[in-house]
Structure 1
Amino acid sequence: MDYTPPAALAASTLIVGLFFFTTQLALASRFLREHRTAACTTILLSCTLVACGVLFAARWFFAKYGLYAWQIQALVLVVLAMGWTAPDVASYVFPPVEDRFARELGGAGKCLQYSPYRLADSRTTFSGRDRSRMTIRPLQAGVQPLRLDNAVDEGIRHLEPADRASRKLMNIYGC
């Protein structure tokens, strides 16, 4: 029996979920907004390669083990899970700068958690090229501001001190 049609259906179903998932990642990373042609090419190429692989693997799998309803149900569940989790995965991998600050420096168990530089106890401004410098000014009088570079939304580079004074402050707090 020829299992090409159900294998093609399985591949096309999976490609819908993969397309949505990769598009969410490309949007969250600003790759799609800043490099539209390269992002679209990457998304379509990855979906095409995965679809070809799934087509051949599914055809072999169906020929060897047969075609059953549970296989299609499992595939649909995988595609639904990919679609459901795509925004959460994308925002975890490429978080807003405030979330990155909490993860790296100011969150639970981090070096600035109990300092005057907590985001709740300070005023934050952004400057620099592409608004990539974050300045945290504590609300307490007389406390020196902390300046951090690589502070862009959806960034993947670690926040780092922008100047010598900020490096000194971070060393004082054990960062």
Structure 2
Amino acid sequence: MAGILAVPSVAIDSQLFHDHRPVAFAVISVSALAMALAGYGISRLVFSRYGVKWSYIGMVTAVIVAVVVGVPQVSAYVFPDQMRRYDRELGGAGRCLGDTPYASRDAFPSTSQVTYDDSRGDRMVVTPLDPAVPAITLSHAKRGGVHHLTPADDQTRKVLMSHGC
């Protein structure tokens, strides 16, 4: 039962609805049906063997609540937005761009500006506020994307290589 409520959260965070709508509906339908049948089968086995007791109902309720509360956080971690991916892969503390003008998180408002290329939809441009430092353009910058951020041009590739990325 809890899985039925968890599947839409994963589908939304993974951008499955936006990128592959028919596949998303099929995955959600099949997953919900499989989880409902599994829940019915397990509960029928347990209740027919041991009877219906308040302790069993309490345990099942606790499991359902734990799954419903936990799945959105797990889904957001597995399918992060562009800024979280940039922070994890390149610009965060301890990463290759962490101590540069391209650093992310706390340093972003004071060191650089991030924009998104609307013509491509998957490009992220990090422009340092220091005009002497070139901007970098990264591909695969989609919300919920699973591909690593990669350089979109030669200038970005050179900047990343010079910082050991």
**Within the alignment, does 1:123 sit opposite 2:108 as a pair?**
no
**Within the alignment, does 1:48 sit opposite 2:38 as a pair?**
no
Is the CA contact 1:20–1:86 (under 8 Å) kept in the aligned structure 2? no
TM-score (normalizing by structure 2): 0.86
SS of structure 2 residue aligned to 1:125: strand
Question: Considering only aligned residues, what root-mean-square deviation do their CA atoms show, in Å?
Answer: 1.8
Identity of aligned residues (%): 32
**Within the alignment, does 1:112 sit opposite 2:97 as a pair?**
yes
Q: In structure 1, what residue type is equivalent to 2:64?
A: V
**Within the alignment, does 1:147 sit opposite 2:147 as a pair?**
no
**Within the alignment, does 1:161 sit opposite 2:156 as a pair?**
no
The Cα shift of 1:65 comes to 3.9
Which runs of 5 or more residues in structure 2 are unaligned?
none
| Alignment-derived partner of residue 97 in structure 1 | 82
Which runs of 5 or more residues in structure 1 are unaligned?
1-13
Is the CA contact 2:4–2:36 (under 8 Å) kept in the aligned structure 1? no
> Residues 19-65 of structure 1: CA distance to partner in whole angstroms, max 9, x if unpaired?
22110111112212343332122112112112222322332333444
Task: Describe the shift of the 1:33–1:141 C-alpha distance in structure 2 as closer, same or farther (beyond 3 A).
Answer: closer
* CA distance in structure 2 between the aligned counterparts of 1:73 and 1:89, rounded to whole angstroms: 24
For these two proteins, the number of residue pairs brought into alignment is 160
The Cα shift of 1:130 comes to 4.1
> Segments of 4+ in structure 1 off by > 6 A?
none
Match of residue 16, structure 2, among 11, 14, 31:
31
* CA distance in structure 2 between the aligned counterparts of 1:147 and 1:34, rounded to whole angstroms: 23
Of structures 1 and 2, the larger Rg is shown by 1
